[in-house]
């Protein structure tokens, strides 16, 4: 990835000696100091716990401005993509740098249809998971296994990346739906050629021989929007994991499997589950949301309001604004009355007008409403993070591919500052008192 150096330098003074470090600037004004030669020239490294101020790469995929609440994929505002595109179009955009024309979209859809089925041998894998195995665990294992069934990536990982990406996008949807069916003890529902990407997923999830499922356009539209909003989000924990694992030359399937495991964490992809659990706890406590607002303000109380605030957004999460509207619309269409939504609205109203939350930029984020939408369309809580993974997959593939073709790529190897014991004399076993 070409770096756009500014010609300006930063000066670092250590023990009276001045070192010059080159700077670079992104197309949207991101500024960075290039410290790639810092250790070699000075003997020092930087220490940045959680990588809050460290850029691990340059990238042309996603632009995020946390101060102004801006999110763009390949230069397109997330608001436009969520309103005017399908998830398949956005997946194509992330993988190919441009939105597809009608012919390209038709070809991409044909590939997704072609690869929708799982190898029949893999279907037997589901029989060997415990009945209540976590769907994210199943998803990670099954995606990792794909490398054994489709080993062609070993010869030239990038030769058939379009086919590999389409295969992953299509099969991960089938794996997710099948894992749900197995957990419910219901027969598997195979994909249909006449349904869209999201329509197929919904049908595989909820259709059964005694109660056929009607795929509703409004639900398909909402699911498209949710997946688009999750499609990529710069160098977050799971995406960084995919890049780090991939930097060692690990194949795409196994790199994605590692990303799925990273996403599983409650501080990352599992956050929308925590929102529902919090809303349920408030509901079971007599809807006393004021009590929980006060708990959140109490520094001595470990309780935190789930679904508020974001690591990078310092104003509002633009995805949260879109998803709130989508939530209102789908609940009205489905005639769903959810007491948890009433609590969510009360919490949001208070947080948006309470100085404590406003001062700390604790605005509702994407996780705050996504769980309520998933509940409304019938997706159980333990599948929420799986839905996140479905949406994030094209971003992971795009990030892995970008990392793989970067001529400056090196295996990821963070440094550390050692704070343990200094060298000690060895004492033989018999002499240790």
What is the token pair recorded at 12?
Answer: 């670092």
Q: Known catalytic residue: 335?
A: no
Catalytic residue among 310, 338, 354, 431: 310
Is the separation of the CB atoms in 386 and 223 below 8 Å? no
Q: How far apart are CA 366 and CA 360, in angstroms?
A: 18
Distance CA 278, CA 292 (A): 9
The answer to whether 268 touches 50, Cβ cutoff 8 Å, is no
Catalytic site residue from 119, 367, 406, 430? 367
Question: Is there a catalytic annotation at residue 367?
Answer: yes
Cβ atoms of 383 and 138 within 8 Å: the answer is no
For residue 76, the SS3 value is: strand
Q: How far apart are CA 261 and CA 255, in angstroms?
A: 10
Q: Distance between CA atoms of 374 and 310, rounded to whole angstroms?
A: 21
Residues 293 and 189 sit within 8 Å (Cβ to Cβ): no
- Residue 37: C-alpha distances to residues 48, 100, 405 (Å): 17, 41, 22
Indicate the DSSP class of residue 5: E
CB 372 within 8 A of CB 387: no
Q: E strand or H helix at 390, and its extent?
A: helix 384-405
What's the rounded Cα separation, in Å, for the pair 219 and 410? 43
Q: Which residues are catalytic?
A: 310, 367
């Amino acid at each position: 990835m070409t770096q756009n150096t500014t010609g300006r330098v930063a000066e670092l003074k250590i023990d009276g000696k001045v070192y010059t470090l080159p700077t670079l600037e992104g197309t949207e004004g991101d500024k960075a100091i290039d410290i790639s030669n810092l250790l070699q020239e000075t003997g020092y490294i930087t220490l940045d716990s959680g990588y809050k101020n460290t850029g691990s790469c340059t990238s042309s995929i996603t632009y995020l401005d946390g101060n102004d609440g801006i999110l763009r994929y390949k230069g397109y505002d997330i608001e436009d993509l969520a309103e005017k595109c399908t998830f398949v179009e956005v997946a194509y955009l992330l993988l190919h740098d441009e939105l597809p024309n009608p012919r390209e979209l038709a070809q991409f859809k044909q590939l997704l249809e072609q690869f929708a089925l799982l190898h029949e041998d893999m279907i037997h894998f589901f029989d060997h998971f415990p009945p209540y195995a976590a769907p994210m665990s199943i998803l990670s294992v099954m995606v990792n296994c794909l490398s054994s069934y489709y080993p062609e990536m070993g010869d030239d990982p990038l030769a058939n990346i379009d086919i590999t990406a389409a295969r992953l996008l299509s099969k991960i949807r089938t794996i997710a739906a099948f894992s749900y069916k197995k957990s419910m003890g219901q027969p598997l529902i195979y994909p249909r050629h006449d349904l869209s990407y999201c329509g197929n997923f919904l049908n595989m999830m909820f259709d059964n021989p005694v109660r056929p499922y009607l795929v509703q356009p409004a639900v398909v539209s909402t699911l498209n929007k949710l997946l688009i909003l999750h499609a990529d989000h710069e160098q977050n924990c799971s995406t960084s994991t995919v890049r780090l694992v991939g930097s060692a030359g690990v194949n795409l399937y196994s790199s994605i499997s590692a990303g799925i495991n990273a996403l599983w964490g409650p501080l990352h992809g599992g956050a929308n589950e925590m929102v529902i659990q919090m809303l349920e706890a408030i509901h079971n406590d007599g809807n006393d949301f004021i009590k929980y607002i006060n708990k959140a303000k109490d520094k001595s109380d470990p309780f935190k309001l789930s679904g508020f605030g974001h690591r990078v957004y310092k104003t509002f999460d633009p995805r949260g604004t879109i998803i709130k509207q989508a939530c209102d619309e789908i609940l009205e269409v489905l005639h769903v009355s959810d007491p948890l939504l009433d609590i969510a609205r009360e919490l949001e109203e208070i947080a948006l007008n309470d100085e404590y939350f406003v001062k700390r930029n604790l605005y509702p984020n994407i996780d705050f409403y996504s769980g309520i939408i998933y509940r409304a369309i019938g997706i159980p809580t333990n599948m929420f993070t799986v839905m996140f993974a479905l949406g994030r997959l094209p971003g992971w593939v795009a990030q892995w591919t970008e990392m793989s073709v970067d001529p400056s790529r090196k295996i990821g190897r963070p440094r550390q500052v050692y704070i343990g014991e200094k060298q000690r004399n060895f004492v033989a076993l018999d002499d240790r008192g």
